Every structure is written in C-alpha cells, then in structure tokens.
Chain A
Amino acid sequence: MSNETQLLRFITAGSVDDGKSTLIGRLLHDSKSIFEDQYSAISKTSEKRGMAAVDLSLLTDGLQAEREQGITIDVAYRYFATPKRKFIIGDTPGHEQYTRNMVTAASTANLAIILVDARKGVLTQSKRHSYLASLLNVPHVVLAVNKMDMVEYSQARFDEIVAEYKAFAAQLDLHDVHCIPLSALNGDMVVDRGENLDWYKGPALLDLLEKVEIDHDVNTNDFRFPVQWVCRPQTNEHHDFRGFAGRIEGGEISVGDEITILPSGRTTTVKEIVTYDGNLATAFAPQSVTLTLSDEIDISRGDMFVKSSAHAPKVEKEFEATLCWLSEAPLDKSRKYLVKHTTRSAKCLFSRLDYRVDVNTLEQHAVEKLNMNDIARVAIKVQSPLVFDSYDIDRATGSFIVIDEASNNTVAAGMIA
C-alpha cells in the first residue's frame, strides 16, 4: 500500500434479513481480508448451528452477549484495505430501537450503504436509514439492492426499486446517490462483477468505494481552528514559545494570514505553523498543528481562529438545532445540561421543543418530552456564546453533544441549522 492511500469511512444500514452481515462478510472475504483463524472459528460455529454452508454473517458477531442472542447490540468497527484505499466500516444494527447507533456511526462516515432486499423493495426502515444519513449529512449514499438472485437478476425489478427510492430521496437532502444491484450471497457486483448482472454498467460496490471522490467531504473553504490546548514549554530553550494546538476543522491557513479570534473578535496574523516534522507554510483540514501568532493576545482552549477574509461563523448564545436524544432517561426541560461543541463546553437549557420528526414518515408531531431515539427540532440557550456554523457547511463546527452532569452520560447529539 502506498502512502497516498486514502481513508474512507462508511456505514452499512439494513437488517440481518437484508443480508447486511453477509454483505460485509462478502466484502471482507472477496477482498481477502478474512484470516484463516477467523474463518475456521465461523466454520465451527456454522457447523455447530447445523448450517449447510459457512455463514459469513458470523464474522461481524462481536460480544458473547450477542452471540448468545444472535443479534448485534452496538456499533462495531471493522477494517480492511485494498491497494487503493483503507476502509473503516461502522457496522450498525437495523432494529428500530437502535436509531442512536446509526446516528453515532453516521456522524463520522463519508458514505452510507443503504441495503434493501430486492424482493421487498424500499421499506419503512430503508426510508428511516436514508433520512438519518441525510440528517447527519453523510456525503455519499449507495442504495445496494441485495438478493438480486432471488428476483432472477431482473433489471425491471431493479429499475422499479430505484425509481421508488429516488422519488422518496427527493424529499431528503442527499447529495450523491448511487444505486447498485448485487447478490451478497453469490458475490455478484460486490467485489467481483459476476456473470449474472451484465445489463448493469455501473461500478461494482468495492469499485465505487475505491473511487468515490472524498477530497471535499471536509469543508475546504472556511478556515476553522478551535484551540484545543495551549503549548507553553517554559524551558530555557523555548522560554517564550506560546503555541495554540488544535486540529483544522475547515479550510486552510498560511503563514502571514490574518485571523480573527472568536468570540473576542481580536485580530492578528499567523507567525508560524509548527509541527514535530518542521514548520509548514500552509496547513489544511483535517491536519493537527500548532500555531504561533504575531501578537500576544489572551487566548485559551475553546476560542476559535477563523480567517478574517473568510465567511464568518455565528457567535451566539441561542440557536436552533435538530437533536437526537440518545439516553434512556428522557429530556427534562426544567433541567440544565452541558453542551460540548468543538473544544468549548457550556451549560445549556432547552428553551423550546418545536416538534418531533417521525423517522418513518418524516411527519412532524407536537412534542412535550424527548425519549431515546427521538429526533426533534429544538431551541437551545447557552450560558456563554458558542462559535458555530450551520451543520451542512461544516460537520465539525456545526455539531455538538449534550452531557447530563448528574450522570456524566452523553444524552444527545445535535446538528445546528
């Protein structure tokens, strides 16, 4: 693998019945990413359970609890690589009660595979998965029409499903949708093209995963740099060194560029871009770097640097967001919570609950309280201002988590818009 190999993160959404685990197993198996000891372990288990062939879906079974119950209870991350790309799969269960798992996995994904059964077509859960992919602004979506072997590899059936899906997807904010007919069981159009789908001229699934353009999945326009940690060595050698360490969450920056420090609004210029491997002239998202500045300004963790010439983020104490409630304990409107947004945390109140979205029908319902897996439109007031963008402009500066200070649990995830 060369150093130019890119990293692509994708998720698979669908239920066991759609052949999701078989699809992942097929991707791993046909790309030669399954090891002999793993294969012999699942062969033994398949035999023990009286199955005729090796069940590739067993590869994605993780914990003892799951093996006992034959279900997947949480997000599992799997890894494989081809000479072209390295892949991270966020494997999420398809059951309704696990919306939060899909939201979790989708939050870092470049691409979502929405799996449907060719016999059943677009089901409620396919719509739910697509809605969540659009809500989390996953840049690329693949509709994988599986079990084509069960509909005699019919092009007419595939076209029918694609038409139905596209009609539905038009209501959503999906940016880049690809549709692929395949059979995970037989391996058609997953890694190899197979011989049964000659009428389909597009890329096989792995081919698409290797080629889809991901350079612009991060915001390449607007420089955003949340200060993470202040580097003050205070040694003789670096007595006056004062660097601001963090990760560039959008755009790029060069030595000499004028920046504005938010929320204070003070301006200065970038003196050096320091890294362990030497100073840089220019740095870009998502690099982790340390910046030194031309002027001594009081700056601490939680401040955000933006390029003065770029589109400015908002600096507000009140904002609206779409919230996914993740906790078993429902939202209590009378309580204060903690918001963690980029590197800044602040106490918050939910000043309004506007409506809840039914993830199956996209209908809006009046809402009094939020339960686990609910998705709702809310207004939030924070104790001190946050520096943010709309989530569709920048995933990093438009997202936040909500923490319950009593339990220290992460209870919600939010997208600002």
Chain B
Amino acid sequence: MKLVEKNMTKHTFSHLDALESESIHIMREVAAECKNPALLFSGGKDSIVMLRLAEKAFRPAKFPFPLVHIDTDHNFPEVIATRDKLAADLGERLIVRSLEDSIKRGSIVIKDESKPRNPYQSVTLLETIEEFGFDACLGGARRDEEKARAKERIFSFRDEFGQWDPKNQRPELWDTYNTRVNAGENIRVFPISNWTETDIWEYIGRENLHIPNIYFAHEREVIRRGDNVIPVSHLVQPKPGEKVEVATVRFRTVGDMTCTAPVESTASTVEEIIAETATTRITERGATRMDDQTSEASMELRKKEGYF
C-alpha cells in the first residue's frame, strides 16, 4: 500500500516525451559509464533523430563521442551530403570508414559489384571498432523493424568476435543498464529501441529535422523486378528486356542503393508521410529491403555475425 497521499498535480507527458526522455537517459548512461563510445551515424532518418537526442542529452557541451559512418560506397549521394552537412553544422567530429578500405586490405572480397554490400558492412564496422578501441557503439536500430530486433536488449553485448548470442542475453530490468565489458568486447546500444516508424516521423515533424530529400516523393527512373521497384543508378542498370520507367516514389529507408526499393507515393511533407505511415499495410523493411526477404531469419543471421 502507498503510505503517502498522492500529489494530484497533473502534467501532460506524451508518448514522444516519454520516448525522448528514455533515449536521453540511455545516451547519458553510455557517456557516463563507457570509456570510449561512438555514435553510428549514416545520414538516414533514424540516425538523424539520434543526433537530435544527443543534442538534447549533452548540450551545451559537445557530444562525448565521435560520429562514425561505415560507408558501403553504395549509398545515395543525397544521404551522404546530408550526413556531412549535419556533422559540420553541429560542429561534431565525423569518422568515415569505407568498405573500400577493407577491400584494399583484403579483408573483404567483392564477387559481384551489383550485389548489395550490407553483408560486408559488419567486417568494416568490426575493423573500425578495433582501430579506435570503441567499447560502445550507439546505433539507431528499432525493435519494430524486424523480428530479431524485437528480442534484442537496449544494451546488447557482443563478444570479441562482434557476435550477438540471442539465447544468452543479459537480463535488462527497469532502466538500470549493465554497461560492463571486458577489454576487446563491445556493447551496441540502441536508445531508440522502443520507437516505431510512426514515432520517428512524428518526432521529425515536431523537431523540424532536416532529412535527405529522397524520403519525400519525387520522380525517379525505376525498373520493376518481380514485386520490387528498383531505382536505376550507376550500380543498377536495366537488364535486356527490362523497361526503365519514371515513377513518383519516395524511400522509407535509405540503405544500399542496390537493395533499397522506393515505394510509390505522392507524400511530399512530413505530415503526409505520417498519414501514409498510419495507413500503410506493409512493414518498413518488408517494403524496402530486398536483402531481408531472402529467408525468414536473414536479419537474425546477419546480427549474429556482427551486423548492427
């Protein structure tokens, strides 16, 4: 039984306020307890939300960690431009490591240039973690994205091979996070675990965040392969018999250009995207990530290998 009479003051605290406060709390725990953290920043919408949350957690001070991007060299140029602009505007340090570096070293061998590079991203990420000795990497993954993520902790421990063991995760209770790792081990931290795609868009609207323009409806040359709409780029050219058409599309996620499909949409403002997200009948990754469609467990397998 509660012994004290309850204070009847009412404060409005919306779901976005609750999520924001939780994320700030998580980021500050990392800053306070981890020796050498980094924030993984790609220029995509989720990582742009992460930057705003970091500003809320640490200003007026600088971020207590650098921004790190693992560049597949298969990124949309608009996203890379946004990445560089945001890092410069914030005056924060941006470290970019490219799959090309790993290819030159021989730790990645590319068999087919036109194939997605996501499977190789883990290699460069792990090499970058080792190069800088990061003990914690903050990432913008969300649990609503995928079945394997739904079971992942906010502080997700990785062994010295960068591997995730889903059956052997540390229990995570209240908001009391165990941040301890041995030398050479690593924690991935997901402050926006509990956000959904809709929350992200509502927050982008509320905070008036600058995001790459390819998230909004635009005309683009595409090819249709099976059920997928694929953007034409220097990496993806029509095969004999395929027809290039101009469609009005937008991207729900911005990943590797060879496997990120746009959705047909005329939503050109954040409000229109929120409305569209509320009524869409296909999940975010299901609509846009061909690499997740290959098997029921593709994300789980990639995560076990050290992918985010």
Instruction: Establish whether residues B296 and A64, one from each chain, have CB atoms under 8 Å apart when the complex forms.
Output: yes
User: Which residues from B are CB-within-8-Å of A287?
Assistant: 13, 17, 21
Query: Is residue A181 contacting chain B, with contact meaning CB distance below 8 A?
Result: no
CB contact under 8 A between A245 and B57, given known A7-B19, A74-B151:
yes
User: Which residues from A are CB-within-8-Å of B278?
Assistant: 1
**Which are the 5 A-B pairs with shortest beta-carbon distances?**
A37-B286, A7-B15, A64-B297, A288-B24, A233-B61
In the complex, chain A residues 377-410 whose Cβ is within 8 Å of any chain B Cβ: 392-393, 395-396, 399-401, 403, 405, 408-410
User: Which residues from A are CB-within-8-Å of B169?
Assistant: 74
User: Which residues from A are CB-within-8-Å of B20?
Assistant: 288
Q: Which of B69-77, B122-130, B176-184, B254-262 faces chain A?
A: B176-184
Residues of B within 8 A of A (CB): 1-7, 9-22, 24-25, 28-29, 31-32, 55-62, 143-144, 147-148, 150-151, 166-167, 169-176, 178, 180-182, 193-194, 196, 198-199, 202, 206, 278, 280-283, 286-287, 296-297, 300-301
Instruction: Establish whether residues A7 and B176, one from each chain, have CB atoms under 8 Å apart when the complex forms.
Output: no
User: Which residues from A are CB-within-8-Å of B7?
Assistant: 220-221, 251-252
Instruction: Establish whether residues A276 and B59, one from each chain, have CB atoms under 8 Å apart when the complex forms.
Output: yes
Instruction: Establish whether residues B150 and A62, one from each chain, have CB atoms under 8 Å apart when the complex forms.
Output: yes
CB contact under 8 A between A245 and B173, given known A62-B148, A232-B61:
no
Q: Which of A102-110, A158-166, A188-196, A361-369 faces chain B?
A: A102-110
User: Which residues from A are CB-within-8-Å of B10?
Assistant: 215
CB contact under 8 A between A326 and B171, given known A7-B15, A286-B18, A287-B21:
yes
User: Which residues from A are CB-within-8-Å of B178?
Assistant: 340, 401, 403, 408-410
Q: Which of A79-87, A125-133, A146-154 faces chain B?
A: A79-87
Closest A residue to B61 using CB positions: A233
CA–CA, A331 to B22, complex, Å? Answer: 31
Query: Is residue A15 contacting chain B, with contact meaning CB distance below 8 A?
Result: no
CA–CA, A216 to B280, complex, Å? Answer: 35
CA–CA, A81 to B197, complex, Å? Answer: 11
Query: Which residue of B60, B174, B199, B206 is within 8 Å of A86 (Cβ)?
Result: B199
In the complex, chain A residues 291-333 whose Cβ is within 8 Å of any chain B Cβ: 301, 311, 326
Query: Is residue A183 contacting chain B, with contact meaning CB distance below 8 A?
Result: no
CA–CA, A76 to B147, complex, Å? Answer: 9
Interface residues on A, range: 35 or more
Name the residue in A62, A75, A220, A284 with the highest tally of chain B Cβ atoms < 10 Å from its Cβ: A62
Instruction: Establish whether residues B198 and A1, one from each chain, have CB atoms under 8 Å apart when the complex forms.
Output: yes
CA–CA, A100 to B172, complex, Å? Answer: 10
CB contact under 8 A between A284 and B150, given known A37-B283, A228-B28, A343-B32:
no
Query: Which residue of B25, B55, B180, B199 is within 8 Å of A288 (Cβ)?
Result: B25
Instruction: Establish whether residues A413 and B171, one from each chain, have CB atoms under 8 Å apart when the complex forms.
Output: yes
Further pairs besides A222-B4, A403-B178: 13, Cβ < 8 Å: A1-B198, A3-B14, A7-B15, A7-B19, A62-B147, A76-B150, A76-B151, A215-B11, A221-B6, A246-B28, A274-B60, A277-B56, A287-B13
A221 to chain B, nearest CB (A): 5
CA–CA, A233 to B56, complex, Å? Answer: 14
B184 to chain A, nearest CB (A): 12
A189 to chain B, nearest CB (A): 25
Closest A residue to B24 using CB positions: A288
Query: Is residue A201 contacting chain B, with contact meaning CB distance below 8 A?
Result: no
CA–CA, A319 to B157, complex, Å? Answer: 30
CB contact under 8 A between A233 and B62, given known A81-B196, A408-B178, A408-B180:
yes
CA–CA, A411 to B202, complex, Å? Answer: 38
CA–CA, A222 to B3, complex, Å? Answer: 12
User: Which residues from B are CB-within-8-Å of A274?
Assistant: 60
Instruction: Establish whether residues B166 and A63, one from each chain, have CB atoms under 8 Å apart when the complex forms.
Output: yes
User: Which residues from B are CB-within-8-Å of A326?
Assistant: 171
Instruction: Establish whether residues A5 and B15, one from each chain, have CB atoms under 8 Å apart when the complex forms.
Output: yes
B201 to chain A, nearest CB (A): 10
User: Which residues from A are CB-within-8-Å of B296?
Assistant: 41, 64, 67
A133 to chain B, nearest CB (A): 14
Interface string of A1-29 (1 = CB under 8 A from B): 11111110000000000000000000000
Closest A residue to B284 using CB positions: A35
Instruction: Establish whether residues A7 and B300, one from each chain, have CB atoms under 8 Å apart when the complex forms.
Output: no
| A-B contact list, 15 entries, CB within 8 Å | A3-B14, A3-B16, A3-B206, A7-B14, A37-B287, A38-B283, A63-B147, A74-B169, A77-B143, A77-B150, A88-B194, A231-B61, A245-B58, A274-B60, A393-B2
B2 to chain A, nearest CB (A): 7
CA–CA, A2 to B274, complex, Å? Answer: 11
User: Which residues from A are CB-within-8-Å of B5?
Assistant: 221
B160 to chain A, nearest CB (A): 13
Query: Which residue of A3, A37, A222, A301 is within 8 Å of B282 (Cβ)?
Result: A37
CB contact under 8 A between A100 and B151, given known A6-B14, A7-B15:
no
In the complex, chain A residues 224-263 whose Cβ is within 8 Å of any chain B Cβ: 228-229, 231-235, 237-238, 241, 243, 245-247, 251-252
A115 to chain B, nearest CB (A): 20
CB contact under 8 A between A35 and B281, given known A85-B15, A393-B2, A396-B175:
yes
Query: Is residue A36 contacting chain B, with contact meaning CB distance below 8 A?
Result: yes
In the complex, chain A residues 107-138 whose Cβ is within 8 Å of any chain B Cβ: 107-108
Query: Is residue A65 contacting chain B, with contact meaning CB distance below 8 A?
Result: yes
Query: Which residue of B9, B57, B147 is within 8 Å of A220 (Cβ)?
Result: B9
A48 to chain B, nearest CB (A): 11
User: Which residues from B are CB-within-8-Å of A197?
Assistant: none
CB contact under 8 A between A6 and B24, given known A252-B9, A301-B32:
no
Instruction: Establish whether residues A216 and B6, one from each chain, have CB atoms under 8 Å apart when the complex forms.
Output: yes
User: Which residues from B are CB-within-8-Å of A342?
Assistant: 176
